[in-house]
Amino acid sequence: MRHPDLPPGPLRARGLRGALSGPFDLDVEPGQCVVLSGPSGIGKSLLLRLLADLDPGEGEVHLGEVERSSVPASTWRRWVTYVAAETGWWEEGVAAHFADLDAVRPLLPQVGLAPALLDSQVLQLSTGERQRMALLRAIVQRPHFLLLDEPTAALDPASREQVEQLLQRLKGEGMGLLVVTHDAEQGRRLGDRHLHLDHQGLREVNL
């Protein structure tokens, strides 16, 4: 799933600061899952959005040797892709959100989705179906790093297990993951490292 046009390298942030939070220093290696926890409203989603260049902020972010400001924002967001907890859709039909339908079809059963859902309207999908479809929408872009905000919050246990298995496979292929979750058990299953964000800042912890 990795992009062939950029040498692999870590995602590194130094002095990353948003309007209401930071500064943050952060490193995520290729093929590594870093789990981020912390109380609601503390700024976990904002941190992911800052890394993905979706919100204005200060500081430096690098992917390998490439500094974020040296590439177009659209390119950076394809390399470092954010998937929100509440997914966004801009067309009525599901299929219209995928540039390559052939790329997504083999992934659908891996997360318990029927191929026929591609022919559906977005409003016909359940919250959990939309959440999984948005994850696949990000994966088929072949990012280097996925920034996932509560990626299984709306899923039943069986669907959650399927998504976790897919994420483990992506990690094995070299994709880096930064995952926000309130599920400590999920954090233990997925995470190679664990970070906790609170009013004292961002620190590494053991779960």
* Residues 173-186: tens digit of each pLDDT: 999 999 999 999 99
pLDDT tens for each residue of 32-61? 999 999 998 888 999 999 999 999 889 999
- CATH code of 11-197+201-205, in short, is 3.40.50.300
CA distances from 188 to 86, 170, 183, 206, 207 (A): 24, 17, 9, 9, 7
Which pTM does this prediction carry?
Answer: 0.91
Taking 70 as the threshold, does the pLDDT of residue 7 lie above it? no
Taking 60 as the threshold, does the pLDDT of residue 91 lie above it? yes
Q: How many CB atoms lie within 10 A of CB 43?
A: 20
**What percent of the chain shows pLDDT beyond 70?**
96
Judge whether 60 and 31 are in contact, CB under 8 Å: no
More confident residue, 2 or 115: 115
| Domain boundary assignment for the chain | 11-197+201-205
Instruction: Give the pLDDT score at 147.
Output: 97
Instruction: Give the pLDDT score at 199.
Output: 87
